[in-house]
Structures are given as structure tokens and as C-alpha cells.
Amino acid sequence: MIIVDVIFRSATGESILLKEPSEDRNFTRYAATKETQDEAVKALTGLGFELVGPPSQYGVSISGPSQLVHEVFGDEPFTVPRSLAKWVEAVRIPPPVEFYGKGLE
């Protein structure tokens, strides 16, 4: 199983991927509509992916067998197929988790 982050297409058309978090504090303009969220989830689950958690207004994490991920999105860097492009801006493998805190050295 591979976990993939799916970034929804925003309602404004602006891309959250083109900004550094420190540059812009108004993230609501990168939010997808509820319809976009619902249609993207419906399409992704229809292809055979499972949700890792609930979708947010910006995206959702999905999982699926390696073969399915590569059939739908190709090899890395992944591309969004035309059938999902109306609702999905980008797809990526999530970055590794970094743990901070006492006892985690």
C-alpha cells in the first residue's frame, strides 16, 4: 500500500503549491468548494483508493496498492489524469514525518 496526498483545486484557482507558508497567512483562498471535495473523493474511491482520514478543504490522503497508484498517476513525479483534473491540482507522496521533543533524539 502506498499513501498519497491529493491537493484539491481551489475555488479561486490560486495554487497553494506556489506559496511558502510564511509568505501568506490567508489560506482560505486556497480552499476547495465542498462540491470539489465531494466529487474528488467520489472519483478517487471509485477508482479503488481508500481514504486515510477525512478530507480537509485543501486535500485528502488516500491509500492504494502500488499498482493502482502507478496505473492512475504514473511514475513519480506523479501527474493528475484528465479524469481528475477538474477537482485535483496535484498528487504527491507525503514528506517523511519529523518528530520533535524530549526523548525523540
The domain limits of the chain are 2-92
pLDDT value, residue 40? 98
Of the chain, the percentage scoring pLDDT greater than 90 comes to 73
Sign of CA dihedral 14, 10, 91, 4: positive
pLDDT tens digits for range 23-55: 667 788 899 999 999 999 999 999 999 999 999
Q: Give the per-residue pLDDT at 28.
A: 87
Residue written as grid cell 465531494: 38
Give me the pLDDT at residue 23, please: 62
